[in-house]
Amino acid sequence: MKKILSVLIILSIVFALASCGRLGGRPPVLEEKVSLLDTISRRGVLKVGLSTFVPWAMNDKNGELIGFEVDVARRLAEDMGVEIEFVPTKWSGIIPALLTGKFDVIIGGMGIRPDRNLKVNFSIPYDYSGMSIVASKEQAAGFDTLEAFNSKDVVIAARIGTTAAAAAEKYMPLAEKRLFDDESQAIQELLTGRAHAVIASSPMPAYQSIKYSDKLFLPLKGNFTKEPIGFALQKGDYDLLNFFNSWITVVEAEGWLAERHHYWFGTKEWQGLVQ
């Protein structure tokens, strides 16, 4: 029995060493994760998720997407040597859609926030935005500070799931919040007198105050927040993240990002293209 037990122990040691590749056997092969960067190159198409925000992304008179983000995404795809496919998505569901693989990246004016970073990876900032307020001349007459809107008698409208909604909660905790899937719905709430103000990313409030100058005004001078904007992608793909960061660094150094930003945010040359 002792001899049999000794033989079994020796055989166990031999098999264990063989499985580790120490007796000439092959070591276990680890499955190599394929980067999405390689997948995009082979596919020949970059799929971009976005939601419409003026002038980040919007439809022109022919129904085609135009805007700052659209220019950024098209240039990115061109430099990758692939075609571009836009996947318009409601803002409230845009991160879940990214995580389920409906598109490769979000390029949609998304503010870099720690709570979002728990779910996605962000590139370095390629732009900066900020929150602004457009208010009803009738409902918010005489309001000229953030504190004036922080009242239980005030109604603030914003787009659900955005940094505008977060800013409303942070700076006007006492006010009633009404959140909508689309900014046009929030503006309609304002125009019909059911809200005192709308919070949104600049320069949308300024455009609305000009468009409806008889009913709306800007109660504050300038933005009351500053937010870095980045590409959002699924966690763990560091090759793709490195490519995005390098690309942003290059086009920023060229001055291309600043030129596109000025066109869409600093001029009105494009306004004849939209309805």
> How much of the chain is helix, strand and coil, in % rounded to 5?
40, 20, 40
Give the residue extent of every domain in the chain. 36-128+227-267, 131-217
pLDDT at residue number 5: 44
pLDDT at residue number 30: 46
Q: Which residue, 119, 194, 189, 128, is CA-closest to 159?
A: 189
Euclidean distance between CA atoms 232 and 98, whole angstroms: 9
Span 59-72, pLDDT tens digits = 999 999 999 999 99
The separation between the first and the last C-alpha atoms of the chain, rounded to the nearest angstrom, is 92
The alpha carbon of 58 is separated from its chain's Cα centroid by a whole number of angstroms, namely: 15
Same CATH topology for 36-128+227-267 and 131-217? yes
Span 244-254, pLDDT tens digits = 999 999 999 99
For residue 16, give both structure tokens.
Answer: 């264990």
pLDDT at residue number 93: 93
* Residue 19 C-beta-side C-alpha neighbours within 13 Å: 6
pLDDT at residue number 89: 95
Q: Confirm or reject CATH 3.40.190.10 for domain 36-128+227-267, answering yes or no.
A: yes
- The three-class DSSP label of residue 141 is coil
For residue 77, give both structure tokens.
Answer: 């795809």
Span 19-56, pLDDT tens digits = 544 444 555 544 556 789 999 999 999 999 999 888 89
- The three-class DSSP label of residue 42 is helix
- The three-class DSSP label of residue 34 is coil
Span 157-206, pLDDT tens digits = 999 988 899 999 999 999 999 999 888 899 999 999 999 999 998 888 98
pLDDT at 149 over 60: yes
Average pLDDT of the residues in 83-101: 95
pLDDT at residue number 27: 52
Span 69-84, pLDDT tens digits = 999 999 999 999 999 9
User: Which pTM was predicted?
Assistant: 0.74
Considering only the top CATH level, what class is 131-217?
alpha beta
